């Protein structure tokens, strides 16, 4: 009886509001499911969503997104996008790998693409987008080693998963390369590439964690910190802002955080770019013109899928010699003469 009372209320609202609603019909719709941390994280999710927005501007498509507020939302969010309204569904994040696979197998006619996950064997209706982020992080590691006054660098990650640790691997490898070239002994705290262990906040949300992890690294002597945890790094940037960039600098990830975090832009020495925006846009374009195929799309330094952002405010602080060395290393990585593995 009480339940009956409740249902008509919802129904009445639905009917009343249906009268004022308008249905939008667009020829092509791209849908995106974000990972936790929010669409406005200045970093991971925001970069991937920018790809859909760029496609919207340039291709005239309709773009929608659905935020995951917790890991348990992945399946539910993918379900909400069923029903034929989405021409392509882009899932953003390694942790969505299982959920995307399940959805793709249950809906073989639906096109899917996932950022940061490579299926082996590949699934015919899923295009994975992965990135050789270590190539760009290698450059950032070399730069940081050259810029550090204390000879100690720091890094921490969100969760110990391959798309996060590949940043840290490259960063440590670049620092080690600097040491062998220059005979120095710059160390990186927070990641051991052999034992595969390091500092992790175990979330991609808490700015407080970003602050306290950076504080701990700073207390251990680190003067440049690389947070690999999406919006968590904004907390580290806030700390660097307070301490001053002489004491602590931050290296941004995913997007050029000088641009996406304008309030604290001066703390970013550079950013390791993972051009999810360009790959997502490419995937949407392919789905639209019919050339979409399941498989793998790899972003590298060579195809500009990854890169290093401009130095912006540190343009004058980075020595010309170091800049030249970085250009040479970049060329070396692209032609294969320099290996970015440790």
Partner 1 sequence: MSKTLNDKIDAAAETLLNRTSRGREDFETLVVVPIFAVIVALILGALIMLATNVDLATIGKSYVALAHGSVGSLSAISETLTAAIPLVLAGLGLALGFRAGLFNIGAEGQLLLGGMAAVVAGFMLDGLPWVVHLPIALLAGALVGALYASIAGWLKAATGAHEVISTIMLNLISFRLLDYFLRQPFIQKEGRADPISKSVPDSAELPRLLDWIDPNLRVHAGLFLMLAAVAFVYWILFRSKIGFAFRASGENLHAARYAGMHSSFIIIAAMATAGALAGLAGASQVLGVLDRATPGFSAGIGFDAIAVALMGRSHPLGVLLAGLLFGALEAGGRQMQVDAGVSIDLISIIQALIIVFIAAPLLVKAIFPWGFRSDSQAKGGAK
C-beta closer to partner 1: residue 70 or 320: 70
Q: Which of 53, 59, 66, 322 binds partner 1 (CB under 8 A)?
A: 66
* 204 contact partners, CB below 8 Å, separation of at least 6: 35, 36, 37, 41, 44, 158, 159, 229, 230, 231, 232
Site string for partner 1, 85-124 (x = CB under 8 A): x---------x-------x--xx-----------------
Name which of residues 267 to 326 contact partner 1 (CB under 8 A).
none
- Site residue total, partner 1 (CB under 8 A): 47
* Residue ranges in 133-162 that form contacts with partner 1 under rule CB under 8 A: 159-161
Q: How far apart are CA 222 and CA 152, in angstroms?
A: 5
What count of other Cβ atoms lies within 10 Å of the Cβ of residue 315?
9
72 binds partner 1, rule: CB under 8 A: yes
Tell me how far apart the alpha carbons of residues 200 and 158 are, in angstroms, rounded to a whole number: 5
Nearer to partner 1, 63 or 326 (CB): 63
User: Of how many residues is the chain composed?
Assistant: 342
Calpha distance 190→194 (Å, rounded): 12
Compute the least distance from the CB of residue 77 to partner 1, in Å.
6
The string of DSSP letters for 270-336 reads: EEEEE-HHHHHHHHHHHHHHT---SEEEEE-TTTTSEEE---GGGTTTS-HHHHHHHHHHHHHHHHT
Is residue 21 near partner 1 by the rule CB under 8 A? yes
Hey, which residues between 22 and 51 contact partner 1 (CB under 8 A)?
A: 22, 31, 36
- Contacting positions for partner 1 (CB under 8 A): 2-3, 5-7, 9-11, 13-14, 17-22, 31, 36, 64-67, 69-73, 75-77, 79-83, 85, 95, 103, 106-107, 159-161, 165, 196, 202-203
């Amino acid at each position: 009886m009480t339940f009956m009372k409740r249902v008509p209320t919802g129904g009445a609202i639905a009917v009343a509001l249906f009268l004022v609603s308008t249905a939008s019909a667009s020829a092509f719709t791209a849908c995106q499911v974000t990972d936790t941390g929010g669409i406005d994280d200045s970093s991971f999710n925001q970069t991937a969503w920018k790809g859909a927005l760029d496609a919207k501007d340039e291709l005239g498509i309709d773009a929608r997104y659905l935020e995951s507020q917790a890991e348990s939302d992945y399946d539910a969010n993918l379900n909400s996008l069923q029903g034929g309204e989405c021409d392509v569904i882009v899932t953003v994040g390694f942790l969505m790998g299982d959920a995307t696979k399940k959805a793709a197998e249950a809906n073989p006619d639906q096109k899917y693409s996932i950022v940061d996950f490579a299926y082996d064997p590949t699934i015919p209706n899923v295009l994975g987008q992965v990135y050789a982020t270590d190539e760009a992080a290698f450059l950032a590691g070399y730069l940081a080693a050259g810029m550090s006054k204390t000879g100690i660098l720091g890094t921490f990650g969100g969760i110990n998963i391959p798309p996060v640790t590949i940043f840290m691997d490259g960063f440590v490898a670049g620092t080690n390369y600097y040491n062998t070239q220059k005979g120095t002994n710059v160390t990186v705290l927070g990641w051991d590439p052999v034992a595969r262990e390091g500092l992790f906040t175990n979330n991609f949300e808490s700015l407080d964690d970003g602050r306290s992890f950076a504080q701990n690294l700073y207390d251990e002597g680190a003067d440049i910190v690389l947070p690999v945890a999406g919006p968590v790094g904004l907390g580290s940037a806030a700390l660097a802002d307070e301490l001053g960039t002489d004491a602590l600098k931050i290296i941004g990830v995913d997007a050029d955080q000088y641009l996406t975090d304008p309030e604290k832009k001066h703390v970013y020495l550079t950013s390791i770019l993972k051009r999810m925006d360009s790959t997502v846009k490419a995937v949407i374009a392919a789905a639209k013109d019919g050339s979409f195929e399941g498989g793998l799309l790899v972003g590298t330094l060579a195809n500009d899928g990854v890169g290093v952002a401009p130095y912006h405010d540190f343009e004058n602080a980075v020595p010309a010699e170091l800049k030249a060395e970085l250009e040479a290393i970049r060329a070396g990585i692209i032609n294969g003469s320099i290996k970015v593995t440790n």
